[in-house]
Structure 1
Amino acid sequence: MAERTAFLKRPMLAGALVALVSELIFLVRLGVPNKLVFDEVHYVPAARAMRDLSGPTNIEHPLLAKELIALSMAWFGDVPFGWRFASTVAGAATVAGVFALVQLLTGRVRASLIGAALAFMSFTVFVQARIAMLDTFLAAFLLWGIVVLAWSARAPTRGHVHARWCAGAALLGLATACKWTAGPYVAFAAVAYLRLRHGHPERWRGLNPVVAIALLGIVSVGTYLLTFAPAFFYTSDPMIWSRLIPFQLEMYARQTQVLPPHTYQSNWYTWPLMQRPIWYLYEPVDGVQRGIWMIGNPAIMWGGLVAVATLFWAWVKTNSAQLLAPALLWVASLLIWALIPKSLGFYYYYFPSGIFLVVALAVALDHWRTSLRGWDELYLLVCFALLVYFLPVLCAEPLTDAGAFRRWTWFSSWV
């Protein structure tokens, strides 16, 4: 008991162990399936071009996530393990990031461990950590950017405040360098800083508002632009300084082009209810039927909506920013998609929102821990049971036949 109590008083050690355990689990059977899955058909060839510096490919998205996949391929080879290894690191960082953010919001390691466990059992983190897609990296950098910016509010000296603030801004820049959908969070950070500092002048000690906003913009944009450095060394059509900014307009044009309808397209307002999850894979591979399903854990994704509502209610009663923050993060992350001019939407765009739901759940469970009296542990068991139940179609386990999907498709829209 004493050892357990000591462990719960050392959040950095607990968080490191959470990351390590997550990474080890994500690595299991990482090479299965041994073929490109879903959007890997776009991003793995783009990563090969980055590795070889052969020329611009998949130019509708920034470079960083593809650079990280390329680095992974350079280390481990142009094989399924090499395509996906970097994603496992990003996935483990995401689980650890949930731990860190809940720790900042509650100050309790038990709540942070529950948050990390929910993140791991959410399905979406597990699936995205085992596929070479850009969103996995976006979420990791975005979450840690939020963590470090929040951490900077508690820094003991002016120098520490500035260092942490700039580090957080850089992480948001790196998130945007994976996919542009992280960009609005820079504005969210600015608004949150101004609002919180106005009501709590003791936070961000010595960081002037004008300086804070300037640093946030300059560091995040500067970091984003630095990730284009490899493009200057392409053997074909290399980047030049005069084209760097116009190139962003080319990317925007490709991002906003009208695309043909897709089987798995869905509207943003349907994502919280998981009306149209995505089969990343459902076909015979190596002579065996396999499936990879991008779907959320029903207990977590639907239970998280209840948590968001209860946090808003608790905020009205207490005026606690710690209770309001995760609920607002989820709302803002979803409403972004109401404004982004994209012709098609997909459930995996909800990935960051699902992570914020997990944070909201952990904070809500901690806030009402006295009233729950053990019901939170039963809830975790339900989440784990659902993970075991859905696991065969989360990690491409061999299935009995082509019709095996009926075991997990509870609704007709899930087919």
Structure 2
Amino acid sequence: MSVLVPQSTDGVVDVGEVPPTAEPAGSDREGRARLLASPMPHDRVRGWVVALSVALLGGIVRFWNLGFPTDKGTPIFDEKHYVPQAAQVLRNGWYEDNPGYELVVHPPLAKQLIAVGEWIFGYDGWGWRFASAVAGTLCVLLVVRIARRLTRSDLLGAVAGVLLIADGVSHVQSRMGMLDIFMALFVVSAFGCLVVDRDQVRERLAVAVREGWADHSPFGPQLGFRWWRFGAGVSLGLAGGVKWSALWYVAAFGLLCVLWDVAARRNAGVRRPWVGTIVRDVLPALWALVAVAVLVYVGTWWAWMSSETGIDRHVVGVKIGDDSWVPDVLRSLWYYSGNVLEFHENLVTSETNRHPWESKPWTWPMGLRPMLYYFEGGETGCGEATCVGAIMLIGTPAMWWLAFPLLAWALWRAIARPDWRYVAVLVGYAAGLLPWFTMIDRQMYFFYVTPMAPFLVLGLTLVLGEILGRADAGRERRGTGLLAVALYVGLVVANFVWLWPILNGVPITNAIWQAQLWLPSWR
């Protein structure tokens, strides 16, 4: 078995894994410590300059003409649900008090964030989309930093950021007053925290190995408080405050964290790494990733809890009994949540209740059924008498159409030649996709993939890193790899530029509109 250990800022080399049962003495001890603690690029200033520069570019793209289009000054598509609810949140004191045709079906956090933009800029396109654009820009920053840490490469970090900027799904959702971009932000934030936590754990174990006390106990050393894992729990709780589907990420990231701890203890020479992880790490992980997440999630309801007129806030003694030791506010929240769950359970596909743009999860990896958010056939400004203005949620084909080859390669790299980075990307991607296969009858839509897009980008970046080649490869090999990476990134950007009119509602001729619709399922 071998693992990939980064050697420099732009490549990786294979290093044989130290047998877990070997005596960690002398040079073996130092080798095991190096295996645990892989160095990051030394120029931290350059890393931040690259990340902030790419994020600035992402912000310019996301914020360009942000207030356009609207439906005669009103929200478009599902903005019609969440933008008015955000205005109600702002008017009432950060909580909702009107079911709005029973469409208050998600926790309040994202609507409160949208309300911040409405508070600053007013009730217009800029106001209700401002927070989404900020969230989309922060996603770019996080992906650059995460990719840099996964690859130990400033160049590949920048590549990942550019790919996310050029992703149609992330772009459109960053310019809509909807919930999913906030979900993506907090999920990616939690993932980034766990990646840093993994490195920190291995650095602590490397110290223990070098100092010769890593194996004093068959369970290995205690690792102290893990602030980055705590941060992941906070982020997952905030994701739950946007949508309940964050629960799947709690389970997936919790499992990933445990597996990383087992691998770290094994590489440190701990005699019983599985038992050691169970004894030393599982309970603290449950606290950080489950208990903290639950507490943060409940905390996102603070305004509703302190209200007098919030929906179902005071149902105890009215709709449900008052003879329980559980605080009334939590019982009311449970009742309210039960009504929301019932709504989702009854949101099923039927012949009489079929949305024209709904899709099923097996179409999502390649984006075979995008969504039309906006269409206006009487536009002007394209050079002809009648123009088309449209916004479609489309994953940039140069990336999304590679999903299945990418997933196959990632599975091979995760199983046949274990690479923790591909495992991590697969876990994040699968947590956003696989749970939906358990509820096929439910109405589903392509915008549910928004949290998956960053993991697709990270997976592609890992593959591009392999194409780029090792840092110690010859000049010709590296030059060829760099050319291939540059050509692919250029292709993605060109594809994004081609789609730009129908990602932003720019008026185009009917002929160009028809040329944009590459597949029959896009119509």
TM-score (norm 2): 0.73
- Identity, in percent, stands at 26
Corresponding residue number in structure 1 for 2:97: 55
Equivalent residues in 2 for 1:180-191, closer than 5 Å: 180-191=244-255
Corresponding residue number in structure 1 for 2:14: none
Corresponding residue number in structure 1 for 2:140: 95
Equivalent residues in 2 for 1:43-192, closer than 5 Å: 43-53=82-92, 55-57=97-99, 58-155=103-200, 161-192=225-256
Q: In structure 2, what residue type is equivalent to 1:187?
A: A
Corresponding residue number in structure 2 for 1:393: 502
Q: Is the 8 A contact 1:33 1:285 kept in 2?
A: no
Name the SS of the counterpart of 2:97 in structure 1. Answer: coil
Q: Is the 8 A contact 1:291 1:393 kept in 2?
A: yes
- Map Cα deviations across residues 254-307 of structure 1 (whole Å, 9 max, x no partner): 111134100011111111232211111111477663110100111100124322
1:277 and 2:350 equivalent? no
Q: Distance in 2 between matches of 1:119 and 1:129?
A: 11
Q: Distance in 2 between matches of 1:93 and 1:161?
A: 27
Q: Is the 8 A contact 2:160 2:461 kept in 1?
A: yes
Q: In structure 1, what residue type is equivalent to 2:81?
A: H
1:214 and 2:287 equivalent? yes
Deviation at 1:193, TM superposition (A): 1.6
Q: Distance in 2 between matches of 1:375 and 1:161?
A: 43
- Map Cα deviations across residues 359-402 of structure 1 (whole Å, 9 max, x no partner): 1000111023226622111111111111111101111111224x
Deviation at 1:133, TM superposition (A): 0.7
Deviation at 1:88, TM superposition (A): 0.4
Give the one of 346, 364, 369 matched to 2:468. Answer: 369
Q: Considering only aligned residues, what root-mean-square deviation do their CA atoms show, in Å?
A: 2.5
Q: Relative to total residues, which structure has the larger helix share, 1 or 2?
A: 1
Q: Is the 8 A contact 1:118 1:380 kept in 2?
A: yes
Q: Distance in 2 between matches of 1:395 and 1:376?
A: 27
Corresponding residue number in structure 1 for 2:211: none
Name the SS of the counterpart of 2:447 in structure 1. Answer: helix
Q: Distance in 2 between matches of 1:301 and 1:346?
A: 16
- Map Cα deviations across residues 288-344 of structure 1 (whole Å, 9 max, x no partner): 631101001111001243222222223344312123221332233211211247611
Alpha carbons of structure 1 residues 95 and 318: separation in structure 2 relative to 1, 3 Å? same
Paired residues, number: 410
Moved more, 217-226 or 10-19: 10-19
Q: Distance in 1 between matches of 2:287 and 2:374?
A: 45
1:333 and 2:333 equivalent? no
Alpha carbons of structure 1 residues 266 and 34: separation in structure 2 relative to 1, 3 Å? closer
Q: Distance in 2 between matches of 1:123 and 1:291?
A: 14
Stretches of structure 1 that go unaligned for 5 or more consecutive residues are none
1:229 and 2:297 equivalent? no
Name the SS of the counterpart of 1:397 in structure 2. Answer: coil
Q: Is the 8 A contact 2:253 2:427 kept in 1?
A: no
Alpha carbons of structure 1 residues 246 and 153: separation in structure 2 relative to 1, 3 Å? same
Q: Name which one, 1 or 2, has greater alpha-carbon Rg.
A: 2
Q: Is the 8 A contact 1:22 1:95 kept in 2?
A: yes
Corresponding residue number in structure 1 for 2:34: none
Q: Distance in 2 between matches of 1:181 and 1:73?
A: 26
- Map Cα deviations across residues 13-40 of structure 1 (whole Å, 9 max, x no partner): 3222222221122111001113311100
Q: Is the 8 A contact 1:255 1:342 kept in 2?
A: no
Stretches of structure 2 that go unaligned for 5 or more consecutive residues are 1-40, 205-221, 315-328, 381-386, 470-476
Q: Distance in 2 between matches of 1:42 and 1:114?
A: 35
Q: Distance in 1 between matches of 2:186 and 2:168?
A: 19
Q: Is the 8 A contact 1:8 1:14 kept in 2?
A: no
1:246 and 2:335 equivalent? yes
- Map Cα deviations across residues 70-111 of structure 1 (whole Å, 9 max, x no partner): 111011111110010000011011111211221221111111
Q: Is the 8 A contact 1:282 1:289 kept in 2?
A: yes
Q: Distance in 1 between matches of 2:83 and 2:65?
A: 19
Deviation at 1:190, TM superposition (A): 1.4
1:262 and 2:355 equivalent? yes
Moved more, 386-395 or 282-291: 282-291
Corresponding residue number in structure 1 for 2:27: none
Name the SS of the counterpart of 1:279 in structure 2. Answer: strand
